[in-house]
Amino acid sequence: MAVLLNGLRLVSSGNLSLHGIKSLQYKSTRILCQLPCKSSYQGRPFSNKNMTVELDNNTGVAVIQMKKPPVNSLSLEFLTEFAINMEKLEMDRECRGVVLTSSNPKIFSAGLDINEMYGKTPEHSGEFWRAVQEMWLKLYGSNMVTIAAINGSSPAGGCLMALACDYRIMADNPKYAIGLNETKLGIVAPFWFKDSMINVIGRRATEHSLQLGLMYSASNALKIGLVDQLVAQDKIMTHALSVMSEWLAIPDHARQITKSMMRKPTLDRLLTNRESDIQNFVNFISKDSIQKSLQLYLEMLKQRKS
């Protein structure tokens, strides 16, 4: 991102030379070879704990498939692994795009792991929230093209992951829903959750959604712009890769600088207030009333399972 910001400053000042453009092209990734160098698929998996990550060297596209049963809840371990994987892909000059999806055909991600917020020490809560921040910073601020292939329901933190991507494709299934529904659990979505949604669907729709904790069906999510396309469940990955090829047809340096222009103010707001945001979360989640709400929710989940 530092390379992009430097390029942005040069563009704004009119001092971006041909040498500078070539440097940006090289540093951001190789964009001249659009065709596969080999006819066979060349995949490189490098993780298989809470997610599988496989990079196709021919296309420069990585697929991150979340596989933390039963619902891909965002635990501290999961979030740490996700951030590490995103960092690896960001550093790999072969990788130009990431498709994020789930191995569970009914759940994209159920959001933050409630067990990480209930009955924990302030130190643990702070560490957990820092990991949530890091996940969002890595995804929202990525130089790569990021596409969410939402093949199941995606409440709360799962919706945040989708919002952080450049493009969202959702399975056309009336049983699936997506939204930031934190208020229904007695939790307040922080300002950067709010900002992420505002940047996608606008201020009024976001205010309505957040106050009521709304979950949108796939068709309604498309209507308000929360997702960009609906496709059949069995076509979602094929379509995601097709859309990815359209995005990768744009020269990387131009797309990345444009993305940075659009997203930098939102990123900077969290980076500037990161420590206070962590402290606010710890103070809030430690309240007796919030802990009681989380306890009741966990008990309800146990009853459903039984």
Active site residues: 112, 157, 181-182
Q: Quote the crossing angle between the two packed helices 122-140 and 252-272, to the nearest 10°.
A: 160
The single-letter code of the amino acid at 206 is T
Integer Cα distance of 256 and 7 in angstroms: 10
**111's torsion region: left (phi>0), alpha (psi -120 to 50) or beta?**
left
Integer Cα distance of 78 and 86 in angstroms: 12
DSSP 253-268: HHHHHHHHHHHHHHHH
Polymer length in residues for the chain: 306
DSSP run (H or E) holding 97: strand 97-102
Q: Quote the crossing angle between the two packed helices 274-285 and 288-305, to the nearest 10°.
A: 70
CA distances in angstroms from 152 to 26, 196, 271, 290, listed in the order given: 37, 20, 31, 28
Tell me if 160 sits within 8 A of 110, measured CB to CB: no
